[in-house]
């Protein structure tokens, strides 16, 4: 077989770039197909085009002369094609006898190439040589079979798609939505009247979610364009209208009216807002760093495990318990659906105890999932409860559960609003029917009073060290040793101010007011 450039790694890696000719070809694809295409589909079309382009080039080269093979004899003036030299074309300008006892009688031809270079080659060779092949133009040309394209996409597809997308983004007439590309000039016209009708359709369905197919039946678009192009045109127009929110998981487009989305989804709840506090992470001891990983606060920016689990258990902190949310921490974020462009994704949360389905909103930008307030209240889950999140076969459906048992009365820390805007803690008996982390568990009867103590991270009235000092003094009263576990302090701080473990633990180490007494326990100096 002849060596083809498009079959080599070198062709698709070191020297591959998307050319103007490639873009012209893809534009013609859009014109002929009249439908949006994904990056994967366009890349496959481009690979097939490049293979066919090489085949056409080789066919023209082969028409110019005879394919050189050492076993054949050639005459001065003949034109030869050399596959081993990237199909270079040369003319025989001389012939002389060869001199090599190992090969017997043969001839040497002098060939002058089109770039002016002259080289010599053996001909009329009677001994075997690797360049002697059974040649037929039709069988030796590269072919763009599905198997060939699959192999190239498997080995080099990521790089091809990356470079293709990079080039398409620079084309003024190319538009992109939900993983598909098309030409803006070929979109079906969508007027403001059509968008008003789309809004009315969503209002009739309580804001959504609705698929584009259902909306377009009511809206109606002009022209004879195929249905897929009509749908894409409406989707592109709705995506650029601030009234509409695309909330579907990757692979599915769903629309919702932004004004009818839960306020906690459109705007980050106050309890979850955090203004980063600068600290030196190198101050954290190995024990404290491990404790931060165990807590896995979504604000800690921890790296996800190399092998994500299908079921994750974590301890619920006060901010998420109060707002009815889940954290998208390093262990949890892979369990929830992603989207192409959507800032908010509507999904289904399933109560693992009852099987009841609840609407959930994934807000990836701010790392939380909203929709569990009723779940927490229904099962009377305390702060510190172990929450279990499990994957299902459907990426848009996730089970939320906990380890339930018959409620039993236990002593826990109770957060109590005190005088002078102080947060106090008492040991009280409460009936709890779920397993929980004893170091993080908290109860609160007067939620309005606790809310009044909240310190906004945008305009903090007190420093983190001041808050920690005050809370540690209160927590220390609950133990004979008057010590406080670092994890317990983290849980308490987050009752009145949102803060990940890192700054809290670094302050424990760096501030002389806090004394380490062994293990993860601290006390006021």
Q: How far is CA 126 from CA 83, 242, 320, in A?
A: 20, 78, 84
Determine the pLDDT at residue 492: 95
Backbone angles phi, psi at 35, to 5 degrees: -155, 145
CA angle 4, 14, 158 (to 5 degrees): 90
Q: Which residues contact 213 (CB under 8 A, 6 or more apart)?
A: 231
Which residues in the chain come in under a pLDDT of 50?
1
The answer to whether 250 and 339 are in contact (CB under 8 A) is yes
The answer to whether 152 and 47 are in contact (CB under 8 A) is yes
The answer to whether 216 and 230 are in contact (CB under 8 A) is yes
In the chain, where are the structural domains located?
Answer: 5-62+141-177, 70-132, 187-261, 294-405, 409-524
Q: E strand or H helix at 406, and its extent?
A: strand 404-418
Rounded Cα gap, residues 70 and 106, in angstroms: 9
Rounded Cα gap, residues 496 and 473, in angstroms: 15
**DSSP letter string over 25-94?**
HHHHHHHHH-S-EEHHHHHHHHHHHHHHHHHHHHHHHHTTSEEP-TTS---TT-EEEEGGGTTEEEEEEE
The answer to whether 288 and 520 are in contact (CB under 8 A) is yes
Ramachandran assignment for 324, one of left (phi > 0), alpha (psi -120 to 50 degrees), beta (any other): left
Q: Return the closest-CA partner of residue 279 out of 504, 103, 522.
A: 504
Rounded Cα gap, residues 243 and 196, in angstroms: 10
What's the CATH code, domain 294-405?
Answer: 2.40.330.10
Burial class of residue 502 in the structure, from the number of CB atoms within 10 Å of its CB (0-12 exposed, 13-18 middle, 19+ buried): buried
Q: Which long-range contacts (C-beta less than 8 Å, at least 24 apart) are formed by 175-178?
A: 175/236, 177/36, 177/232, 177/235, 177/236, 177/239, 177/340, 177/341, 178/235, 178/246, 178/253, 178/340, 178/341
Determine the pLDDT at residue 211: 93
Cα 347 from chain centre: 17
Backbone angles phi, psi at 419, to 5 degrees: -70, 160
What's the CATH code, domain 187-261?
Answer: 1.10.10
Q: Do domains 187-261 and 294-405 have the same CATH topology?
A: no
Rounded Cα gap, residues 244 and 237, in angstroms: 10
How many residues are given for the chain?
A: 525
Both tokens of residue 361? Answer: 């909103």
Q: Is the pTM of this model over 0.85?
A: no
Give the alpha-carbon dihedral of 326, 329, 333, 339, to 10 degrees.
80
Q: Which residues contact 457 (CB under 8 A, 6 or more apart)?
A: 273, 274, 275, 497, 498, 499
Q: Which residues contact 271 (CB under 8 A, 6 or more apart)?
A: 318, 319, 320, 322, 323, 454, 498
Q: Return the closest-CA partner of residue 241 out of 179, 183, 193, 171.
A: 193
Determine the pLDDT at residue 342: 79
Verify cis geometry, omega within 30 degrees of 0, for the bond prior to 363: no
- Which one is the CATH code of 70-132: 2.70.98, 2.60.410, 2.30.30, 1.10.760? 2.30.30
């Amino acid at each position: 077989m002849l060596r083809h450039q498009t079959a080599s790694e070198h062709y698709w890696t070191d020297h591959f770039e998307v050319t103007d000719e490639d873009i012209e070809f893809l534009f013609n694809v859009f014109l002929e197909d009249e439908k949006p295409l994904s990056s994967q589909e366009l890349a496959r079309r481009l690979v097939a085009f490049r293979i066919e382009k090489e085949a056409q080039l080789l066919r023209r080269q082969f028409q110019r002369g005879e394919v050189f093979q050492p076993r054949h004899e050639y005459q001065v003036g003949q034109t030869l094609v050399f596959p081993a030299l990237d199909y270079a074309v040369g003319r025989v300008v001389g012939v002389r006898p060869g001199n090599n006892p190992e090969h017997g009688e043969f001839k040497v031809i002098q060939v002058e190439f089109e770039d002016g270079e002259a080289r010599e080659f053996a001909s009329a060779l009677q001994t075997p040589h690797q360049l002697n092949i059974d040649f037929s133009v039709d069988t030796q040309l590269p072919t763009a079979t599905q198997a060939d394209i699959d192999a190239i996409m498997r080995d080099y597809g990521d790089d091809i798609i990356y470079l293709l997308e990079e080039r398409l983004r620079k084309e003024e007439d190319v538009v992109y939505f939900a993983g598909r590309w098309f030409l803006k000039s070929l979109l079906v016209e969508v007027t403001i009247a059509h968008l008003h009708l789309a809004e009315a359709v969503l209002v009739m369905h309580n804001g959504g979610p609705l698929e584009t197919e259902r909306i377009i039946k009511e809206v109606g678009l002009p022209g004879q364009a195929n249905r897929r192009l009509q749908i894409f045109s409406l989707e592109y127009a709705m995506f650029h209208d601030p009234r509409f929110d695309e909330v579907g998981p990757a692979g599915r487009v769903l629309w919702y009216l932004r004004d009818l989305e839960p306020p906690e989804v459109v705007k980050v709840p106050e309890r979850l807002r955090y203004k980063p506090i600068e600290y030196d992470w190198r101050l954290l001891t190995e024990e404290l760093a491990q404790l931060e990983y165990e807590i896995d606060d979504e604000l800690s920016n921890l790296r996800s495990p190399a092998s994500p689990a299908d079921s994750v258990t974590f301890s619920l902190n006060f901010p998420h318990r109060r707002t009815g949310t889940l954290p998208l921490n390093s262990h949890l974020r892979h369990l929830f659906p992603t989207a192409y462009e959507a800032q908010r994704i509507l999904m289904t949360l399933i109560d693992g105890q009852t099987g009841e389905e609840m609407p959930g909103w994934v807000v990836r930008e701010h790392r939380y999932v909203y929709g569990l307030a009723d779940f927490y209240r229904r099962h009377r889950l305390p702060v510190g409860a172990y929450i279990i999140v499990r994957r299902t076969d459907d990426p848009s459906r996730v089970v939320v559960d906990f380890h339930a048992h018959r409620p039993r009365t236990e002593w826990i820390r109770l957060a109590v609003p005190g005088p002078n805007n102080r947060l106090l803690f008492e040991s009280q008996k409460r009936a709890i029917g779920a397993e929980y982390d004893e170091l993080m568990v908290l109860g609160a009867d007067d939620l309005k009073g606790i809310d009044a103590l909240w310190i906004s991270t945008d305009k903090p009235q007190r420093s983190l060290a001041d808050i920690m000092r005050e809370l540690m003094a209160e927590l220390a009263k609950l133990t004979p040793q008057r010590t406080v576990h670092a994890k317990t302090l983290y849980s308490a701080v987050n009752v009145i101010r949102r803060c990940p473990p890192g700054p809290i633990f670094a302050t424990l180490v760096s501030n002389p007011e806090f004394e380490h007494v062994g293990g993860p326990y601290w006390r006021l100096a």
